[in-house]
Amino acid sequence: METFFVPVYLKIGKLSDEKILVALIGVTPEHIWFNYSAKRVELSAKLSGLSFAHLAKKVLEQIEYKAGELNKKLGETDILLFETTHSFNIEYFQYLQKYSNNILVFGQIELFDFATSTIGFKGLYESLMNEYIDEIKETKQSFQTKIKHKLEAANIQEKADIDFKITTEQLSGIYNNTIVTLIAKNGGILAANSIDFSNSVSSIAQTLNSFEVLLISLNKYADIRSFDKSKYSIVTSMPAIGSDQEKLFNNIYKNKKDVFDIVPEDSIEKLTTLIHQNHYRKFSSVLMES
């Protein structure tokens, strides 16, 4: 799959063909890179007027936002970057040209392999702009996303639902639509939820309460349909020693043993192995039958 970059120019004036390079877009299968030069936008303000530069900056900020949103999706799913539905394509650049009234000009697409290049996007940007990128922004992967990726990497999607939303119409007893990290059924229901114990105590408690409401409803559902005994777990990150989160963790471990198991992040393979070695099926297919 080809990767490429696109230079973005800012026209000095609406009636002039003179332009300044102000931004660079890099497209790879795994990530969209984008950075623009605030200094060069400021320079255009002096040359072309504040309102002109202000509009250009707004468009650049829109591109930056769209790149960030797409990177979130690329971090969660196996989206193919060059599908016809992908927004960062030639048609999208043409749309932006019309939207900005030709204030921004998108240059020729240049094939460039960021993976094999020794300079990467940062080096390419700094070489073309003759200025440094002060900071490369990276979105921190959440604990829940990390667990989801581990489950997906275990190839259990044919036998279990991952990050599955159960609606109030599908399951009576829950107050709101509830997302569960993992759920499947063999003789009984197997369900697990990821909880990040680096979050605030109130956030952890809210997540736990929601999960317990779900488990009560699942138990009633299982009893009505005479399922075998269910198995429930929470997948956790370990809290800092001496923290309020650790006190909550110990309290949960002591008082909730009969409700669910506590599975450390590095032991999640035990759950996926259990699913692989037994005749589990997606809980979503069970719900469709009821």
The per-residue pLDDT for 221 is 95
Q: What is the pTM of this model?
A: 0.54
Q: Is residue 16 scored above 50 in pLDDT?
A: yes
Backbone phi, psi, residue 242, to 5°? 85, 0
**CATH numbers and ranges of domains, the chain:** 4-129 (no CATH), 143-289 (3.40.50)
CA angle 265, 167, 150 (to 5 degrees): 20
User: What mean pLDDT comes out for the span 235-256?
Assistant: 89
Note the pLDDT tens digit of each residue in 196-210.
888 888 888 888 999
CA–CA dist 269, 218 (Å, integer)? 24
Whether the per-residue pLDDT at 173 is higher than 80: the answer is yes
- Report pLDDT digits (tens) over 64-121: 878 877 777 665 444 344 443 456 766 776 666 666 556 778 888 788 877 667 788 8
Task: Please name which of 203, 175, 27 lies closest in space to residue 114, comparing C-alpha atoms.
Answer: 27
Say whether pLDDT at 227 is over 60: yes
- Rounded Cα distance between 48 and 40, Å, is 12
Average pLDDT, the chain: 81
